[in-house]
Structure 1
Amino acid sequence: MEDSEMQIVDVRLSREDYIKQQIDYQAERGIDDPLAIVDIDEVVERYRKWHKLLPRVELFYALKCNDDDKIVDVLVRLGSSFDCASKDEIQQVLDLGVDPSRIIFANPFKQNSHLSYAKEHNVDLMTFDSEEELIKIKMMYGSARLILRFKPKQMYEAMYDLSKKFGCVLEEARRLFLLAKNKGLDVIGVSFHVGSNCLSADAFSTSIKEAREIFDIGIQLGFSMEILDIGGGYRGRDVDRPTIEENADIINHSLDKYFPTTDGVKIIAEPGRYLVESAVSAAAKIIGRKLVYDNDEHSIENVMYYINDGLYGSFSWAREVTETFIASTVNHNANAEKYSSIVWGPTCDSLDYLTTDVSLPLMEVGEWMYIKYTGAYAFCLSTNFNKMPRPKLYYFCSSCTWNLIADFTRADSSDDDCAKL
């Protein structure tokens, strides 16, 4: 992994300082394209925190959230398992040496050729929520181990309500169990998803309780129920509530109540943004500016900035957040007067904007903006619409963390090995 794009440092600097370094590095080479900084320490710290707070819950990283090769490689080295939704996602982690037993094909509707690929490579753990999917699996991969995905009765507010698309209701579960039984298929567990970026920790307690009901239906019908998959929905930003600590308290309590360790049930989850969202920060150059004055043209009403990254690049998520994610300009003056600002992306599309009302100091064309929380559902959704360049990623990691990654095992690594961890 160690190459010119990965900085291994003895003394960590701030992300703003790393961004400044890379801006200067690009400028020396005549490059002024957007860029992003990836904090490997943050990924490792969050991975280890998960296992400390949720010791019963095996982490299957949701690859769709951020499939960057270096981030995924770090997670492989740490021992992570993976939630994959397609042939190419499965192939990516298999090529990195991940054992097929550490992959769940967590797409309730799978393309035939992708299902065949999973069978060819012994990826046999997968989800379903419909009769038609059972028929397909019976025809193409009859020995698969199946997880029934259900739709929780009580859904809490989330940025993305996945229950609109996936999951059976409780009343359908018995029928699907019976269909699987009649077809000689092996259902070994149940799963749910409370919604991406879920805003309530209580969503996990009510869903785990309902999972117990469905689990017991499977047992009553003769299935050897072995796995509970509590899905994703864990928030990733530093300012988010519920925090991972709040989620963990409720999840641990609910698991102890409804799935005690004496049952021998394996608990897994599919976090994505929790691991990577805060680990990546971006920088975009101001390529244009327009001052909009009030009616008498004596004072600035607002400022329109045009930057070289936008909705079709790193920031497809930007308009769905309420807090200010543009942290500062790279060379900002904290005491400078602020103006109501609109931040536009670089393309010719009028939908290409990050925000229409953010308070920013007056900046000049050629300065750079610093933008937080670009690690989740950013680069994996980017395009090169208008042939705009995608941001270049630069990686940094403390030497302490880098050494731990080299031969990391959860059993013998010590929390005292590194102050950062």
Structure 2
Amino acid sequence: MSPAGATEGPGWQSVTIFTLVARTTCPLYPLSRPPKPRCVVYYSLQDNDQPFFVVDVGDIVYKVKLWKLKMPRVEPFYAVKCNGEPAVLELLAGLGLGFDCASKAEIDCVRALGVAPGRIIYANPCKTRSFIKHAAALGVDLMTFDNELELHKVHELYPAARLVLRLRVDDSGSVCQLGLKFGCELDDAPRLLARARSLGLAVVGVRSVLCLHSFSSGGTFAKLKVPANMGELGCSRCACEQRVALLVSTPLW
């Protein structure tokens, strides 16, 4: 495939797009959004039946900068599962984002980009023993759990890990109910926190994954209070070291 070209001029930015394996050169736009259109991509469709995407990577840069401006104390962890395109991951890594990885392959992918282990959360509450060992070998110590069996595996294989308890919240008003697959019930949280303490494991926070496409905005804001309150419960009753109040995985566009 030949790379697509673009023109330059007043109000335009040059861009190079490679189809299939997309490595994209992207200018870093200022926070104020430039007028559209920002670029025109010329692509020859003659004798070419391969599908392709045209992505405005400048918009990703803008939204990351906007996030950091409006929520400077909230560190985003981008879920690799949302879009694992290498060009997107490389861009986000360069912008200093953390990464939410759910598998060994996803961890290896972001580590290959030079992302430090401390910027990765292993967001899978039911990990295989080999995957826990792999995370330990790489120094990826921030990981989630939602059951007692996982605590025993981590205690045996990676006792230095920093754990985040995943909670299940009522997301019945959401387009996609993310609480059906993972997360412990709120009533089980004190027991799991106490068990972690008895095993000498460090629980540094709580996590709840919310679908931002909800039929009830009021319900979403009410759910945000639940993990924070559970974090207070963990600190007061179980002497856990709380560092993370809430981690929400969501696309940036």
Matching residue within 211, 219, 223 for 1:195: 211
| Structure with greater strand share of residues | 1
TM-score (norm 2): 0.82
| Alignment partner, residue 93 of structure 1 | 110
Shift in Å at residue 8 of structure 1? 8.2
Q: Bigger radius of gyration, 1 or 2?
A: 1
8 Å Cα contact 1:163-1:195 kept in structure 2: no
The alpha carbon displacement at 1:79 in A equals 0.9
1:192-271 → structure 2 map (5 Å cutoff): 192-195=208-211, 197-220=213-236, 221-231=238-248, 270-271=249-250
Q: Which deviations, in whole Å up to 9, do the C-alpha atoms of 1:173-210 show, x marking residues without a partner?
A: 01101111111111110011123633443344212321
Structure 2 counterpart of 1:162, from 160, 174, 178:
178
Residue 109 of structure 1 deviates from its aligned partner by 1.2
Rounded Cα–Cα distance in structure 1 between residues aligned with 2:235 and 2:206: 11
- Structure number with greater CO (CA < 8 Å, separation at least 6) is 1
Residue 3 of structure 2 aligns to which amino acid in structure 1?
Answer: S
Tell me by how many angstroms 1:149 deviates: 0.8
Quick check: 2:102–2:124 contact (8 Å CA) kept in 1? yes
Query: 1:249-286: per-residue Cα shift (whole Å, max 9, x none)?
Result: xxxxxxxxxxxxxxxxxxxxx322xx24xxxxxxxxxx
Give 1:2-401 correspondences, 5 Å limit: 4=3, 9=8, 11-12=12-13, 14=37, 18=41, 21-22=42-43, 25-27=44-46, 30-152=47-169, 154-195=170-211, 197-220=213-236, 221-231=238-248, 270-272=249-251, 275-276=252-253
CA, structure 1 residues 39+9, in 2 after alignment: closer, same or farther (shift >3 Å)?
A: farther
Q: Secondary structure at the match of 1:109?
A: coil
**Cα distance between partner residues in 2 of 1:156 and 1:82:** 27
Q: 1:202 to 1:156 in 2, by over 3 A?
A: farther
Quote the offset at 1:76 in angstroms. 0.9
Q: Is the 8 A contact 2:101 2:123 kept in 1?
A: yes
Match of 1:325 in 2: none
Check conservation: 1:129, 1:168, Cα contact below 8 A: yes
- Quickly say closer, same or farther: Cα 1:41–1:8, change in 2 above 3 A: farther
Q: Secondary structure at the match of 2:213?
A: strand
Give 5+ residue unaligned stretches, structure 2.
14-35
Task: Give the match for residue 265 of structure 1.
Answer: none
Structure 2 CA distance for aligned equivalents of residues 55 and 196 of structure 1: 20
For residues 64 and 85 of structure 1, what CA distance do their matches in structure 2 show? 8
Percentage of pairs with the same residue: 34
Computed over aligned residues only, the root mean square deviation of the Cα atoms, in angstroms, reads: 2.3
Equivalent residue of 2:140, what SS?
A: coil
> What is the CA-CA distance between 1:228 and the residue it aligns to?
1.4
CA distance in 2, matches of 1:6, 1:142: 52
Alpha-carbon deviation of 1:88? 0.9
Deviations 1:85-117 (A, max 9, x none): 111111111111111100111111112222111
Q: Structure 1: how far apart are the matches of 2:134 and 2:203?
A: 20
CA distance in 1, matches of 2:156, 2:6: 50
Query: How far apart, CA to CA, are the structure 1 residues paired with 2:54 and 2:178?
Result: 30
What amino acid is the match of 2:128?
A: Q
SS at match of 2:196: helix
> When the two structures are superposed, what TM-score results if normalisation uses the length of structure 1?
0.51
